[in-house]
Structure formats: structure tokens, C-alpha cells
Chains A and B, each alone.
Chain A
Amino acid sequence: MNSRERSAVERSLVSVVDDDESVRESLPDLLREFGFAACAFSSAEEFLASDWIDRTRCLVLDIAMPGMSGLELQRELKLRGQEIPIVFITARRDEGIRPLALEQGAVECLFKPFSDTALLQALNAALQVS
């Protein structure tokens, strides 16, 4: 579906959590072009403290962040019983990171820079899950 086919009410909220300012600057615009609603947070703590947890249909989450990391946030959300589908994005090209993320229940783990198509695919998969 493209943006025209979705009304504002129907737009699913995708929340972006990344300490990288350029991600917070660019990703929401792309998400909106995909037809999602988007909002961005600079840290896991900020997201947890916000009002958007319940409304978030999908989380685009950086792994390496100062303070609580992406994987820790994933665990925290599980503990809270809030199983939001997660698409991890990371600049770290550790060999073990993707299997670990998937093992812990993430829908996808993308390496920066990722293509828009890859992101869209992951988001669609995430939204199928929920």
C-alpha cells in the first residue's frame, strides 16, 4: 500500500529509537513516505518514559546506545509484557549480533546503511506478526 491508500487514522505508528541524530532526522521522513506515522527518540529511556509505547506498532531500534542498549530495551519490554515487534538497525558488523537479535525475538536486524526496500520488507513482516 502507498501513502495515498492509508488515511491518517489508519497509519501505523513506527517508533525510532537511536542516539544517532542523523537517523532520527532522516528515518521518520522515509517511514512517512512508506505510509507510516513515525516518531523518534534519542534513547531507550526516553522511549520508555514516553506515552507512545502502547501506540507503537513497530519499533525500529538501534542496538549500541549509551545507557540502555537496544537489546536491553527488548528484554525490558518483554518483562513489561509489551511485545512490540522490533526491527534492529545497527552500524556494528559483529558476526554474532544478528543471530543473537533474532534469537531474542527480533523480526529483523539490518546493518547500516540499509536500503529502503530492505527496511520496508522488515516493517511489513513485523506488522504481519502483530
Chain B
Amino acid sequence: MTPSQQRSHKGNILVIDDEPAGLKLLFAILTEDGYAVHERQLDLESQLRFVKETLPDLVLVDLRKPGMDGYQVCASLKNDPTTRAIPVIFISSIDRSINQAKALLSGAVDYVTDPFDTEEVLWRIETHISLRRLRENLESAACKHSAQPVAPNEDLERAFQEIHVLTQVTGRKHAEEKVRQAKRELKRSEALLAEAQRLSSTGSFSWKVATDEITWSEQLYRIFQFEQDTPITLELIGSRVHPEDLAMLNDMIDRARREVSDFEYEHRLLMPDGSVKYLHLIAHGIRDHEGRQEYIGAVQDVTQRRFSEDALAKARTDLAKVARVTSLGVLTASIAHEVNQPLSGIVTNASTCLRMLSADPPNIDGALETARRTIRDGNRASEVITRLRMLFSKKEPSPEPMDLNQATGEVIALSLGELQRRQVILRAELAADLPLINADRVQLQQVILNLLRNASEAMSTVDDRPRELLIKTERDEGDRVRLSVKDVGVGFEPQAADRLFEGFYTTKDDGMGIGLSVSRSIIESHQGRLWAAPNDGPGATFSFSIPCTPEGLAGEVRMPNAA
């Protein structure tokens, strides 16, 4: 360590210590601030002689070393008129309480404690050196003008002020202790805050609007995956923001510049590895003590929460879909049932075919018929599977503008063969002025097919009258369309109306035993209504009515909240 050899205009300080190494920090503080610092570690006499020769502006005496008697040094300096006026400051350590009485008696003006508070040390030293100089000036001025009354002047005023301040020095011991304590508390709560930020994935920031000076907490660096202490600029932030959210962010910033207010919003980050993070940001607008606009706030990484919420919403939708139809057990049973019937037919017919062919003579005609039935049942089974798969696919309903009449026509074409086999006479009255509707075409066709088949099935035992089936479309009030299927079959009791729509109510059809309950859910998901009423005459009419433009049909899109 090379203490300065020069003399400094600011002040020359002598440090008396037997182990200068312990005062490295102090030396650094003083030298930085412009003082010339010397140190001596000689015996007492040599020390005193050195002081007389060099006449420093201030002497620092270390009380901590047992080999030294600082009090003695100080007392000796005060006894000598040449060195009396030099202010002496003791250096003590925080855990060794200084003997105040002894200190005062020995003539020291103040003390500083290790660990050193830079500002404090410099303040004290500066104060004492200034005071000493002022006193010198005063005394020399008084000597020069001893006959004249001393006119009040600025220097004097200032001197008195500084003396006044100095008298508060002794009272500062308690204050110092309090400050030290407060600093310890602050350090601890800073550590706690950092930990809390890390745990909650929340970082904090401040933004001085005029200068765009931005400060971030450690956690915020981590969230953005920037190296700690990188200078933060708006451009740097923008480089991480998801391109789709950038425009919104810039809007936010513009608005924030114009008006001092609080704002809150969510946006995404696009990380270097391509992953996306969801952030939730809250900022408070304040004016600092000079009236300048500043924002302070917090940013939380809500990616996990967002994914969980999305997964939960999807699971709920899926579950609702399944629950809407029927309980899972019944669902499985009804699916098995639907497929089992054609399968059963296949097995029976094929067995019969085999026996017929192995008979002597073989029954070719019978075999042909059973073979035909087998093929038919095979097709039926695969049809059931396809229909069921479509119905229970996880696909979201995909609404599109569609013509209900056209869709109905297609279903009729599909069913013609079967209707003919059952000797059903189909009549269609499709309204010419039917508006286009926004709906899932496939799903609606499933419903229409179901209604057609039920109607046809209901008439399968009717022999005394033509098996007439009427399918009708028309406008319904309230911007809706209605489709109805009327048969002259066995009908049902009005009280039984609701039971019809329960899952797996009937097994009598070879199509969809679960058809009506599923049909109802489809119609309800289009914000429509499906109902049945017995006719005035024989049979029943099944109808559904749906709005032309059902709301909320598209999948929900989560938009970032803009403040």
C-alpha cells in the first residue's frame, strides 16, 4: 500500500495505527475522495514528532489495537501547543464500545467505527477539517482586527451553523446504531423479496419515462432469460416479446407515456428456443420527487397457470360432451349394442350359409340370401362405427354457413334405399325461402338421419294405412329455422315424451338406440331445441329449431387483456 506522499488541497490526513493493513478500506475511501493520506506506525515519541513536522489537517488514531494507547497519543497531541488545534478522530470497532469520557477528556473530537460507512467517514472528516480551518480564519481575522467590532459575515454564519451541526454529533451514536440496524433489516428483507420473487416467478421493474431508464430485479432477468445486469432498453424487451403481441405492447408504451396512470395487461414472450411464455404485468404510474414520470411494477410468469387453465377447460368440455350424451357405462353398452346387432346377424347368417352349402344337395338359393344379408350387416356395422366415431370425435363443432334444405336432401338420398325396403312413403316440403344457417353440417345431418330412421322404425308394424313420412323445413320466429319429421307410426304417450330423449331408452331400432339423446345434445350445442309431440291422428312429430347464427359456437379464443 502506498500512501500518498503529496499534500492535498482538500486535506492531509495522518493515520496512526500499528497495523495499516486493517485500514485498507479507509485509505481507499479517503484517497478516492481527494485526501492525501499518510500513515505512521512508530513509537509514541516519533509519532508526535512527525505530527509536529508535517502538521496534517486531521489525525486518525486507531483504538482497536491493544499495543497502542490511542488516548495517550491524543492527549499528547493536545498538550503540545503546535499540535493542539489538529482535530483527532478515533477509530474504533462496532463491538467495542468506546469509552466516551476518556475520549472526550483526551481531546478527540469524534470517532468512526469499523465497518466503515463511506459517507459517514467522509462527512465527519470533512466537517472537522472545515471547522478547524474556519476557526483558524476566525482567529487570524480576530487578531488582525482586534480593535474593530467583528462584522457579521457569511463565513461566520456558516461557521456557527457547522458548529451547531457538530454538537449533534455526540447525539448521533444512537442514530448510528439505528441506521446500522436498519441497514441489516433492509438487507434481510431484500433477500426475502428476492426469494419471494423467485418462488412466485415475479420480477419487478422501474421505468423512468423521460429517459427510458429501466431497472429490473434479478427474477425479471431470469424470466426474460437475459444475463444479469444487462442494461435494459425497450428495444431489448421488444426482442423477446411475441411478434403477435408486439403491436399491442407498443400501444401500451405510447399510452403510458402520454398519461400517468396504472396499467395492467398480459402478453406473450417468444424465447430463443421457440417456447412461449405468458406474462401478466401490472404497473403503477408515479411522479418522483422532482415531478418526473416513472412507472414501477411487477411482471409475473403465468405460463404454467395458463396451460393448466387451458387443459382444465378442455377436460371440462370433453367431459361435458361425454356426460351430455350419457354416463360412460351406458355409453359403452350402447355402442357395443349398436355394433353387436349387425355382428350377430353376420355370425348367424354365415353359419347358416355354411350349413346350407354343406347340405346334400346344397341349398344354393338359401346360401345366396344369407350371404347377401351378411354383406348388408357388415356394411351396417361399419356405418355404425363411422357414425359413432364422427359423433364422439374430439373435434370441436365446426360451424359453417349451410343450406338446411340441401343437407336434408342429402340425408334423404342416403336413406331412400332403406325407406323403400320398409315401404315408407316419403314426402318432403322444404321451404323455398329458408335462410342459410351457421351450423355444423355433419352433426345436423346425423340428427336428421336419426329422426328419419326413428320415424321409419315407428311405422314398421303399421299395416292398415300407408306408411307416410313427412319431412318439412320452414322459417321459425326469432330468426330461426325449423325441421320436423312426422310419421303415422305407433306414437307415444305424451307423458313419455321426455323419456324418449334419455340415453339408451330404446333398443328397438337397428340404427342408433342412443340417437335421440345425442341428437338433442347436438341441437342444444347449436342453441336450439329438439322436441317431440304426438300427432292428432296416429304417430308423432319430432322437430328441432335452431337460430340462424348461434353464438359461441366457435372454440373460445383467449385474448390478452388490454388495460
Contact = CB atoms under 8 A, between A and B. Distances in A.
Interface of A: 3-4, 19-23, 25-27, 29-30, 33-34, 42, 64-66, 91-94, 112-116
A114 B343 CA distance: 9
B351 interface: yes
Contacts of A33: 352, 355-356, 359
Q: Which of A21, A27, A113, A116 has the most CB of B within 10 A?
A: A113
Contacts of A65: 507-508
B443 interface: no
B348 interface: yes
5 contacts: A19-B507, A20-B344, A22-B341, A112-B343, A113-B340
B344 A25 contact: no
B341 A42 contact: no
Interface residues of B, number: 30
Contacts of A34: 355
B373 A26 contact: yes
Contacts of B347: 113-116
A30 B370 CA distance: 10
A26 B508 contact: no
B377 interface: yes
B507 A22 contact: no
A87 to B, nearest CB: 14
Contacts of B507: 19-20, 64-66, 91
Contacts of B341: 20, 22-23, 91, 112
B517 to A, nearest CB: 16
B508 A66 contact: yes
A30 B337 contact: no
Given A22-B510, A91-B340, A30 B345 contact: no
Interface in B488-525: 506-508, 510
A29 B344 contact: no
A114 B349 CA distance: 11
A115 B343 CA distance: 11
Given A22-B345, A33-B356, A113-B346, A42 B351 contact: no
A97 B369 CA distance: 33
Given A30-B352, A114-B347, 6 more contacts: A29-B366, A91-B344, A92-B337, A112-B344, A113-B343, A115-B351
A23 B344 contact: yes
A20 B342 CA distance: 10
B461 A42 contact: yes
Contacts, number: 83
B336 A30 contact: no
A130 B284 CA distance: 93
A26 B349 contact: yes
A66 B506 contact: yes
Given A29-B366, A65-B507, A113 B333 contact: no
Contact of A30 (B342, B348, B369, B460): B348
B375 to A, nearest CB: 13
B344 A114 contact: yes
B510 A27 contact: no
Contact of A27 (B342, B343, B348, B508): B348
Contacts of A113: 340, 343-344, 346-348
A19 B508 contact: yes
A20 B349 CA distance: 14
Contacts of B369: 29
Contacts of B343: 112-113
B12 to A, nearest CB: 103
Contacts of A29: 349, 352, 356, 366, 369-370
B340 A21 contact: no
Interface in B321-363: 333, 336-337, 340-349, 351-352, 355-356, 359-360
A108 to B, nearest CB: 16
A21 B344 CA distance: 11
Contacts of A23: 341, 344-345, 348
A23 B225 CA distance: 69
A26 B359 contact: no
Contact of A93 (B333, B346, B460, B510): B333
B333 to A, nearest CB: 6
Contacts of A42: 461
Given A3-B359, A29-B370, A33-B356, A116 B351 contact: yes
Contacts of A64: 507
B335 to A, nearest CB: 11
Contacts of B366: 29
Interface string B227-244: 000000000000000000
Nearest to B505: A66
B345 A26 contact: yes
Closest 6 CB pairs of A and B: A116-B351, A22-B345, A112-B344, A113-B347, A33-B355, A26-B348
Q: Which of A3, A27, A30, A94 has the most CB of B within 10 A?
A: A30
Contact of B355 (A27, A30, A94): A30
Contacts of B377: 22
B340 A25 contact: no
Interface in B97-132: none
A115 to B, nearest CB: 7
A54 to B, nearest CB: 24
B333 A92 contact: yes
Given A20-B510, A113-B340, A25 B345 contact: yes
B351 A25 contact: no
Contacts of B356: 29, 33
A93 B339 CA distance: 13
A78 to B, nearest CB: 24
Interface in B292-340: 333, 336-337, 340
Nearest to A93: B336
B461 A22 contact: no
A30 B352 CA distance: 5
Nearest to B504: A64
B506 A25 contact: no
